[in-house]
């Protein structure tokens, strides 16, 4: 079944195989309700919208927050009219994947993942999108062509990763180089005070100099500050408080260009002048494990609702930058105003 503007409005969340041409438009609802497609926006606003593919398939650990992430990303597109959303998703607990023992049949789930990625992420299919979001993906995903996906980003498209997007494609090093870091480990969920490294970037300008958030905080390997522009970081281990450099969020241009190191305290950068020569845009935040980080209406909370509202503004700023709708660049460079 294909869902289009002004078409069928489901009463229950859409599951796998109902993914073609899902365009969701409407007002932000803070309650956990299903979002319906409407045709209320002016034609001009619709025409100006960018098209984003949200990928939530998993080949490893599957986060319970994925349905919440899918809902929130759709709502952000609706309320801003900046982008519309399609999904590449497979829900393993869907009845169609149930095995003889009543549990998800891995072979059926894997086949469904391969089918949806072949449909949505082939080199030809990618041409219709302006950005791809990996929202809590895990494992080595069976893309039709891994290198073609990276080349698509290099051509001037956007990539956005949330949380376990860095726990994806451990077996494909060029992806790790693209996203900027690789998940290594994490400790117990904890409240941290994230240092805001760029208070002018749209992903961070609404945040205080030190932003408190309770979440699962990743530690990384294969992370190189010379290749990213730091946005949020810690200057001590999130759990044992040992001093060090523990990045949380960053952005980078992809396909050329390089940055000098970003000190954890957000000091002025020394930047090579080829930042803008790299056409691809990559934004990543390691936050987003918990539902209450995504959704201010989530009932079982460790974070106040204001944290979720700030997180939504954080990822929205990153998405809009990845789409080329806003500017976020090192202070040493003079960026065109937007």
- CATH architecture under which domain 43-322 falls: 3-Layer(aba) Sandwich (3.40)
Q: Is the pLDDT of residue 29 over 50?
A: no
The structural domains of the chain, with segments of one domain joined by +, span 43-322
Residue 328's pLDDT is 83
pLDDT value for 327: 86
Q: What is the 3-state secondary structure (H, E, C) of 60-87?
A: CCCCCCHHHHHHHHHHHHHHHCCEEEEE
pLDDT per position as a tens digit, 53-87: 999 999 999 999 999 999 999 999 999 999 999 99
Question: What is the distance of C-alpha 334 from the center of its chain?
Answer: 27
Q: What distance, in Å, lies between the first and last C-alpha atoms of the chain?
A: 39
Cβ–Cβ contacts within 10 Å for residue 33, how many? 11
pLDDT, position 14: 35
Measured distance CA(31)–CA(91) in Å, rounded: 22
Decide if 131 contacts 52 (C-beta within 8 A). Answer: yes
Span 119-139, mean pLDDT? 98
**Burial of residue 63 (number of CB atoms within 10 Å: 0-12, 13-18, 19+):** buried
Specify the pLDDT at position 171. Answer: 96
Supply the pLDDT for residue 226.
85
Tell me: the pLDDT tens digits for 34-46? 333 333 344 334 4
DSSP 277: G
């Amino acid at each position: 079944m294909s869902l289009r503007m002004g078409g069928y409005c489901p009463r229950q969340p859409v599951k796998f195989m109902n993914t073609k041409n899902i365009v969701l438009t409407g007002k932000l609802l803070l309650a956990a309700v299903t979002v319906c497609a409407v045709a209320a926006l002016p034609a001009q606003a619709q025409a100006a919208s960018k098209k984003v593919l949200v990928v939530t398939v998993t080949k490893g650990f599957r986060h319970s927050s994925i349905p919440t992430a899918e809902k929130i990303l759709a709502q952000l597109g609706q309320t801003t009219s900046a982008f519309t959303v399609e999904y590449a998703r497979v829900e393993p607990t869907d009845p169609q994947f149930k095995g003889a023992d009543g549990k998800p049949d891995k072979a059926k789930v894997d086949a469904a993942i391969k089918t949806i990625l072949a449909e949505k992420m082939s080199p030809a299919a990618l041409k219709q999108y302006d950005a791809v979001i990996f929202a809590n993906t895990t494992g080595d995903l069976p893309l039709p062509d891994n290198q073609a996906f990276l080349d698509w980003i290099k051509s001037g498209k956007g990539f956005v990763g949330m949380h376990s997007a860095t726990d994806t494609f451990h077996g494909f090093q060029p992806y790790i180089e693209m996203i900027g870091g690789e998940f290594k480990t994490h400790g117990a969920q904890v409240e941290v005070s994230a240092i805001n490294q760029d208070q002018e970037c749209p992903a961070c300008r609404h945040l205080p100099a030190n932003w408190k958030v309770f979440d699962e905080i990743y530690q990384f390997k294969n992370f190189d500050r010379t290749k990213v522009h730091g946005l949020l970081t810690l200057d001590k281990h999130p759990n044992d408080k040992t001093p060090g450099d523990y990045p949380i969020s960053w952005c980078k241009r992809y396909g050329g260009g390089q940055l000098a190191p970003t000190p954890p305290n957000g000091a002025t950068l020394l930047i090579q002048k080829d930042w803008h020569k790299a056409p691809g845009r990559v934004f990543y935040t390691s936050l987003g494990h918990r539902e209450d980080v995504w959704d201010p209406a989530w009932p079982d909370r460790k974070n106040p609702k204001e944290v979720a509202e700030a997180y939504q503004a954080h990822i929205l700023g990153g998405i809009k930058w990845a789409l080329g709708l806003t500017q976020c660049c090192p202070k040493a460079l003079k960026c065109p105003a937007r």
